[in-house]
Amino acid sequence: MSESVPRTDLSPPESPASGKKSIIVRDSSSKRQWPVRLHGFNDGTLYGTRYRTVFHESSAGDDQFTRIGQLPVPASGRNGISYRFKTSTGWKSTLTRLVGRFPSVNVWPLTPSKLLATADNYVFMSHDGGATWELSRTLPDSSGPMGILPTGLCVHDGAVFLGEYPLAATDSPRILRSTDFGETWSTVAQLDDVRHVHSIQVDPYTDELWVTTGDSGSECRIGRLRNGTVECIGSGGQEWRAVELAFTPDAVVWGVDSVYLPSNPIFRLARSAFGSDSSPETLHEASSSIYYATTLTVDATQWIIVSTAMEAGADSTGPKNQTAYSDRATVLAASSATDFTTWHELAAYEKQRVPVDRWNPQDSVPIANAYVFLASDPDRGLVANPHNTARDDGTIVHYPPAYFRALETDGVGSPSSERAAGVTNLPVGNGN
């Protein structure tokens, strides 16, 4: 189904000191709000999707989005129907009215002309800036709706690395490598004793590749990819169950992703402690599972920003009769000025309520979680993208560098100070 070119509405700056604003994308003809999924920056330009349609800013920083292309439908028959229900306008919107708005497409703008994407169990590539797409590879049949996690792909020394995310116990995840932006792939490592790969990232200080895996017991690992294996700095318990890492010059920081823990710590392990029996240091305790992380340097101060998820139910890999502890989807930030010991809550969101929240016999129908996707740019600051939330769903909330300067100096950014400054996000509709 074709879609109109979008236009963008901007709220007024939400705090005179901070310059925070919300970006709402609307259909250019009907003016209906389009909830957009954020996919990060390339050369300062934001990329996003609505279903299988890919957008980017017309020019970096202008907050105006242009449609550039659409992912194809790679299958027919039963597989094609399943793919359309997860990714296509009309098909997916029917499903999300019942279970919530679940993410099912990832896009990585690797260069202005080279992009990769995943949807369902397919990998797609574009070598013309996203205008046209071709099937690059098929992932395990049991892969999650997004194919892999948004944190499961990175570029290192000119090659693309991808970590698979199967859900079936019979599928062993692999780490794949492509030296031609998706034309061909080779297997770098096969991880037979973990469930799936959560992330693969480049350490900006050592240029090494880091991998996180899950989900239970010894499957939970944090380590470096060396000689075709993951050389762990820690494993064996939920404290090592992480999605995305944050790097500082002298440490690695991560949040725990475990819905059945009463709280989820944010840990730090000094680089000098790698290879020792040292335990990570607890920096903070969050009330929900921690998924995504990014860093941002403003002037001489480094910030770590993480987001939590409001999960809809229990963990299938967790203990029987578990209690699910999940408060809200939040954005938390701390800076090197306090040695990352003082954490600010920048935003908090409840999950969007759907019919199966009220009636779901024996938890037979999966329900979508609420997330906040993050991306940062040294010049533009932080953008946050609440997803499947009761308010601001699908907006892009921009926190420029000035916001963090104000947060450091006078606390602008905490819930109480934002209320005092009259900070409000624009109300949004319940689009899909």
Residue 426 inside a domain? The answer is no
Bigger pLDDT: 1 vs 309:
309
Q: In the Cβ-directed half-sphere of 149, how many Cα atoms lie within 13 Å?
A: 24
pLDDT at position 277 is: 83
Q: What is the DSSP string of 309-348?
A: -B--S--TTS-TTPPP----EEEEEEEGGGTT---EEEEE
Percent of the chain at pLDDT exceeding 70:
88
Residue 250 inside a domain? The answer is yes
How many domains in the chain? 1
For residue 322, the one-letter residue type is Q
Q: Mean pLDDT, to the nearest integer, of 143-150?
A: 97
Q: Tell whether the model's pLDDT for residue 416 goes beyond 70.
A: no
Q: How confident is the model at residue 410 (pLDDT cuts 50, 70, 90)?
A: confident
CA 320 to chain centre: 28
293 neighbors 254 (Cβ within 8 angstroms): yes
Q: Tell whether the model's pLDDT for residue 200 goes beyond 80.
A: yes
Q: Tell whether the model's pLDDT for residue 429 goes beyond 60.
A: no
Q: Mean pLDDT, to the nearest integer, of 185-206?
A: 97
Q: What is the DSSP string of 346-387?
A: EEEEPBPP-HHHH--GGG-S--PPBEEEEEEETTTEEEEEEE
Residue 431 inside a domain? The answer is no
Q: How confident is the model at residue 16 (pLDDT cuts 50, 70, 90)?
A: very low
Residue 101 inside a domain? The answer is yes
Q: How confident is the model at residue 313 (pLDDT cuts 50, 70, 90)?
A: confident
Q: Tell whether the model's pLDDT for residue 144 goes beyond 80.
A: yes
Q: At which residue do the structure tokens 């759907």 appear? A: 354
CB count in 10 Å sphere of residue 66: 13
- Tens digit of each residue's pLDDT (9 = 90 or more) over 42-98: 999 999 999 999 999 877 666 678 899 999 999 999 999 999 999 998 889 888 999
pLDDT at position 362 is: 64
> Is the pTM higher than 0.85?
yes
Task: Tell me the residue range of the domain where 399 lies.
Answer: 6-420
Question: What is the C-alpha to C-alpha distance for residues 412 and 421, in angstroms, rounded to an integer?
Answer: 8
Residue 416 has phi, psi (to 5 degrees) of -70, -40
- Tens digit of each residue's pLDDT (9 = 90 or more) over 365-381: 788 999 999 999 999 99
Residue 425 inside a domain? The answer is no
Lowest mean pLDDT among 87-96, 124-133, 293-302: 87-96
**Rounded to 5, what percent of the chain is helix, strand, coil?**
15, 45, 45
pLDDT at position 34 is: 83
Q: In the Cβ-directed half-sphere of 339, how many Cα atoms lie within 13 Å?
A: 5
pLDDT at position 84 is: 95
CATH of the domain at 215: 2.130.10.150
Residue 429 inside a domain? The answer is no
Bigger pLDDT: 19 vs 7:
19
24 neighbors 13 (Cβ within 8 angstroms): no
> What is the SS3 assignment for 88?
coil
Q: How confident is the model at residue 27 (pLDDT cuts 50, 70, 90)?
A: low
Q: Mean pLDDT, to the nearest integer, of 115-130?
A: 98
SS3 of the chain: the string is CCCCCEEEEECCCCCCCCCCEEEEEEECCCCCEECCEEEEEECCEEEEEECCEEEEECCCCCCCEEEEEECCCCCCHHHHHHHHHHHCCCHHHHHHHHHCCCCCEEEEECCCCCEEEEECCEEEEECCCCCCCEEEEECCCCECCCCCCCCCEEEECCEEEEECCECCCCCCCEEEEECCCCCCCEEEEECCCCCEEEEEEECCCCCCEEEEEECCHHHCEEEEEECCEEEEEEECCHHHCEEEEEEECCEEEEEECCCCCCCEEEEEEEHHHCCCCCCCEEEEEECCCEEEEEEEEECCEEEEEEEECECCCCCCCCCCCCCCCCCCEEEEEEEHHHCCCCCEEEEEECECCCHHHHCCHHHCCCCCCEEEEEEEECCCEEEEEEECECCCCCCEEEECHHHHHHHHHHCECEHHHHHHCCCCCCCCCCCC
Taking each helix axis from N to C end, the angle separating 91-99 and 77-87, rounded to the nearest 10 degrees, works out to: 60
Residue 64 inside a domain? The answer is yes
Q: Mean pLDDT, to the nearest integer, of 291-302?
A: 97
Whole-number mean pLDDT of the chain?
Answer: 88
- Tens digit of each residue's pLDDT (9 = 90 or more) over 318-365: 998 899 899 999 999 999 999 999 999 999 999 999 988 887 776 667
Distances (CA, A) of 387 to 380, 397, 428: 21, 12, 12
Q: Tell whether the model's pLDDT for residue 14 goes beyond 60.
A: no
Question: What is the C-alpha to C-alpha distance for residues 355 and 370, in angstroms, rounded to an integer?
Answer: 15
pLDDT at position 415 is: 41
Q: Mean pLDDT, to the nearest integer, of 291-310?
A: 97
Percent of the chain at pLDDT exceeding 90:
74
Highest-confidence range of 11-15, 18-22, 285-289, by mean pLDDT? 285-289
Residue 344 inside a domain? The answer is yes
pLDDT at position 30 is: 66
Question: What is the C-alpha to C-alpha distance for residues 93 and 336, in angstroms, rounded to an integer?
Answer: 43
pLDDT at position 411 is: 65
Q: Mean pLDDT, to the nearest integer, of 8-32?
A: 61
